[in-house]
Chain A
Amino acid sequence: MKAMLAMGSLRGQLLRWLLLPLVLLEIINTISVYYNAVDAADMAYDRSLLASTRALAERVSVEGGKVVADVPYVALDSFETDTLGRIYYKVTGINGETVSGYDDLPKVPANVPRSENYPALVRFYHANYNGQPIRIAALLQPVYDDNMRGIALIQVGETLDARKGLTLKILYDTIAWQSSVVLLAGLLVWFAVKLVLRPLMQLKHEVESRDVSDLSDLDPALVHKEVRPLVQAMNASTTRIAGLIASQRRFIADASHQLRTPLTVLKTQAELAQRELECASTASPELRNVVASMAATTDSTVHLANRLLMLARIEHSENREPVPVPLRETVQQVALELALTAVNRGIDLSLEGDGEASINGQALLLHELVSNLVDNALHYTPRGGSVVLRVQPGETQVVLEVEDSGPGIPPEDRDRVFSPFYRAASTMQANPGGSGLGLAIVRDIAVLHRAELELDQGAGGRGLLVRVRFPRAMPPPAA
């Protein structure tokens, strides 16, 4: 969990790494766009300012040795409506005298270069007039008549409202556009991350929905090339774990296997001793008892070794291909095998339900499961009691029930009875030779077959009812 917090989210990281530089770039871009906009606006408005200046210049002439300007108000009016701002002008004569207009219009600063954009001798500059910034075009216009020639200076200034409006509009447009680009990029990252992470999510789902015992490799092709090494490393780690588990299972199998021969010797010796005692008339009942319990202990040790081997074998057979197993037939087979025990103990053993239904699995293990359940039921059922087996085929499930009329298991103990070597206090007397592995084996086999296991009360609130719900084997699709 700590690592998770430290790493933060992939999406957040991507957003930070992508969006921060992007925003920075957008800001630089906006600034440059702004200045370009200012230039463009200046250029556009300068052109019309020059046009106004020229129009004014055409009305400047020399009359009687003096420069005169004939400026009708109408002309100025039209300028003003065009530019939406105020227009100021000044015509300066050859000798620097003010011919017409506003005398105090700011002079052309010395360092303003001539504009290269127009064939006219024009200079543009910014100035302040009457407390507001204005742009002025200063045009040098040659004037002459028959007597004199010289240069008149025609200045037209306009307030900056219009060009400011334009630049602001361009700026706002740019900002709006850039922001939507950033927003779009953010959204793209969001969805791209989601899209890109989808295979990882699928992998996660696959890992989560796996069977606990499934240690097979994950397919690296499920994810992107970049993530494959991770999957491969996971697979390698799983393989090592599987190897470890397998070697432990082998050890259990080998150990219980190795026990068989000495146990056979012990069993043979105990049986021979019992026979000798039967023939010898002088043997004390005490000695007979001792040898009989030795034989019984040997039997329960054999039972334990067999169970251990069975547990190891269950785990070993996980990789085997399941085959359809007729459950009712299996139950009947087990019932036939254990019928003598039942009859000898005066227990009424019966099988109900006659529809056959197949389940997918391992025949040997299913036999073992049923056998353990019936064996248990017979152990805990008193003489004169009954054990009822039921196989109920349903739409999607096949339900196996084993019901006995024994003491049952109190609800609080029901979870624990499935743990290996757990033995309920009440069972110690009823079945002293039990290994405490029977139900653990049942559970393991049930898990292997994806079956659900339930413990319940028998009919009338007495005894134990074990219910195993197997998924029904689907008939193979017609080829």
Chain B
Amino acid sequence: MRILLVEDHTELQHWLSKALRDANLSVECADNGADADSLLLTQDYGLVILDLTLPRMDGLEVLKRLRARGGKTPVLILTARGGLEDRVQGLNLGADDYLAKPFELAELEARVKALLRRSAGNESLVYECGALRFDTVSRMFSYFGENLQLTPREHAVLEALITKGGKPVAKEKLFDQVFSLADDANLDAIELYIHRVRKKLDRKEPGAAAITTLRGIGYLLQPAEAKA
């Protein structure tokens, strides 16, 4: 899948395209909005990485034209304009993701890969945390290569945690995913399921996953050794 990188700063364009090529992606570059617009008109790309402040045509205008033509190519906006308004405007105009300068290279690569995956229509995804795996297609958990037996609510808790990719989940959010509106459950009830899941994950060997409680805040699923 080819990527179109639209960035007017030559240095940045050079180094970003190098980084992306190192990650085995094929990159073409444009250094102004008008060129980008005509390239998008004639060529087919898997992803556009678009700077907003561009000579000859503003990045937002390029995006607007692309979407007006019915172009479905995912667009990742890169910008030094950090304001919330710009962000909202970009997303409203049909951008798929947004990254503010300066960013971590790893972050850019992760987002690029996620967008490419999405555009390829390949939704099948496996989430991992140490030896714990979750397949989004089969919706099954495996732990150290064995199926993990979970009740529906335990399953919901663990799914909410693992799909966050190692980031913490607010307890209210977890509660919403585990209990339906009809359930007359207290917010603290979630602690019970966390406790049960924790027991099922409790293994001594390396690769064990563990749930950390952030009191009053939420929960975090991490490989146990990360928790020093």
Cβ–Cβ contact A346 & B12, under 8 A: no
Query: Closest A-chain residue to B228, C-beta based?
Result: A346
CB of B148 within 8 Å of the partner chain:
no
Contact B18 A350 (CB under 8 A): no
Interface stretch of the complex, out of A212-220, A257-265, A422-430, A455-463: A257-265
A contact residues around B167 at 8 Å (CB): 336, 339-340
Q: Which of A241-259 contact B (CB under 8 A)?
A: 257-258
Question: For the complex, what is the distance from the CA of A389 to the CA of B81, rounded to whole Å?
Answer: 31
A332 in the interface (beta carbon within 8 A): yes
Residue of B nearest to A335 (CB): B217
Query: Is A69 engaged at the interface, CB distance under 8 Å to the other chain?
Result: no
CA A144 to CA B179, docked complex, whole Å: 144
Q: Whole-angstrom distance from the CB of B146 to the nearest CB of chain A?
A: 27
B115 within 8 Å of A (CB atoms): no
A268–B12 touching, CB < 8 Å: yes
Q: Report A318-353 residues with CB < 8 Å from chain B CB.
A: 332-333, 335-336, 339-340, 342-344, 346, 348-353
Contact of B226 with A268 in the complex, beta carbons under 8 Å: no
- Interface range for A: 35 or more
A window 344-403: CB within 8 A of B: 344, 346, 348-354, 364, 383, 389
Chain B: interface residue count, which band?
A: 35 or more
Question: Once the chains are docked, how many angstroms separate the CA of A340 from the CA of B227?
Answer: 10
A226 to chain B, nearest CB (A): 45
**Of the 9-residue stretches A53-61, A101-109, A169-177, A269-277, which lies at the interface with chain B?**
A269-277
Which candidate, B64-72, B101-109, B130-138, B200-208, is the interface stretch facing chain A?
Answer: B101-109
Residue among B9, B11, B12, B216 with max Cβ neighbours from chain A (10 Å)? B216
Q: Does A309 sit at the interface, judged by CB under 8 A?
A: yes
From B102, B106, B212, B216, A264 is in contact (CB under 8 Å) with B102
Say yes or no: is B166 at the interface (Cβ < 8 Å to chain A).
yes
- Whether A336 and B170, one on each chain, are in contact in the complex, defined by CB atoms closer than 8 angstroms, is yes
0 or 1 for each of B71-112: is its CB under 8 Å from A? (1 = yes): 000000000111110000000000000000111111000000
Give the shortest distance, in Å, between A137 (CB) and chain B (any CB).
106
Q: Is the interface of A mostly helix, strand, loop or mixed?
A: helix
Nearest CB on B from A478, distance (A): 28
Q: Which of A2-47 contact B (CB under 8 A)?
A: none
Which of B18, B22, B217 is packed against the most chain A CB atoms within 10 Å?
B217
A267 proximal to B (CB < 8 A): yes
Interface residues in B140-187 by Cβ distance below 8 A to A read 166-170
Instruction: Please name all residues of chain A whose beta carbon is closer than 8 Å to the beta carbon of B125 when the two chains form the complex.
Output: none
* CB-based nearest B residue for A316: B83
Q: Which residues of A contact B18 (CB under 8 A)?
A: 272
Interface pair B105/A268, CB less than 8 Å apart = yes
B114 at the interface (CB under 8 A from A): no
When A268-B15, A336-B170, A343-B212 are in contact, do A263 and B101 touch as well, CB less than 8 Å?
A: yes
List 16 A-B pairs, Cβ < 8 Å: A261-B9, A261-B101, A262-B11, A267-B104, A271-B105, A272-B22, A313-B83, A335-B216, A336-B169, A340-B166, A342-B214, A343-B227, A344-B226, A344-B228, A346-B228, A354-B216
B residues in contact (CB < 8 Å) with A: 9, 11-12, 15-16, 18-19, 22, 80-84, 101-106, 166-170, 212, 214-218, 220, 222, 226-228
